[in-house]
A and B are shown apart, each in its own frame.
Chain A
Amino acid sequence: MSRAVSALEGASHKGFVEVAEAGLVGMITLRGDLSSAKMKAAVKAATGTAIPAPRRIVTEGDRAAAWMSPDELLILVPYAEAPATVAALDAALAGEHHLAADVSDARAVFRVRGAKADEALMKLCPVDFATLEAGEIRRTRAAQVAAAFWRSAGDEFTLVSFRSVAGYVMGLLEVSSRTGSELFPA
């Protein structure tokens, strides 16, 4: 078996906030009818959560379910459990039109940690941070690439991008979090 590595193997930078690649994270794209009984049961079994409301991420320990579009969820699990979770989802949704794909290796995950974490992202994303709601996952762009982020802790954002642009995203985060470049000093 090959040794799995994340895109940047945990690289990090410290500026006015700390930005770090989060290493291996299990991610599954799940498409189907989000209102069906089978879907509710399948997601509950995989993550321990209910189907999230539009633009919400619901977390249960080290697992989560995030709403991506009216017919798509992002399921987050420990990396090693992704293949088994896909199999379980397929079994639970058998007979219903659906897609469960392991995209863990197609993505890169970043943690942006600090009191001014939102300022680092404000420079990159055309998002009104003042109106972000609790538990919201926001898909948008970070400079020139697609990205999704949510507030994963009081002073932490988690951001997901495609693996192929991980270096670019790390560059964006490192530059935008450089000490002295805070948007609203003090």
Chain B
Amino acid sequence: MLILECPCCGVKAEETELTPGGEAHLKRCGPGSTDDEFDGYMFARANPRGVHFERWRHAYGCGKWFLAARCTATLEVFGTYPAQSKQPPAELQAKIKARRPGWEGWT
């Protein structure tokens, strides 16, 4: 089972306490963006086989959103971090690089 530690309340929550929320750090393109940009924001996804940054909500707990770094192939969880983060924290990126030397890094 997948266990994610909620950074808002500290609970090591099992996946059935959580609601998944899709890819994190999407660049929102609204009015004023091109059709390509809007299409990319709405529909195109990285969907990697490997390191993935994603949103989760602690639905049966404190109710807050948070972000997580997880491997989509092995379900290894690298870490969780606040929803307000504009990018994964530097220490988390370093930890992922140490665990996955082949990872191309955060772009």
Contact = CB atoms under 8 A, between A and B. Distances in A.
Do chains A and B directly touch (beta carbons under 8 Å) in the complex? yes
A141 B62 contact: no
Interface residues on B, range: 10 to 19
Interface string B4-17: 00001111101011
B8 A128 contact: no
Interface of B is mostly: loop
A140 B9 contact: no
Contacts, number: 35
Interface string A44-79: 000000000011000000000000111010000000
Interface residues of A, number: 13
A72 B9 CA distance: 11
25 contacts: A54-B9, A54-B10, A55-B9, A55-B11, A68-B62, A69-B9, A69-B61, A69-B64, A70-B8, A70-B9, A70-B62, A126-B1, A126-B16, A126-B17, A128-B12, A138-B11, A139-B9, A139-B11, A139-B60, A139-B62, A140-B60, A140-B61, A141-B16, A141-B17, A141-B60
Interface of B: 1, 8-12, 14, 16-17, 60-64
Interface of A: 54-55, 68-70, 72, 126, 128, 138-141, 146
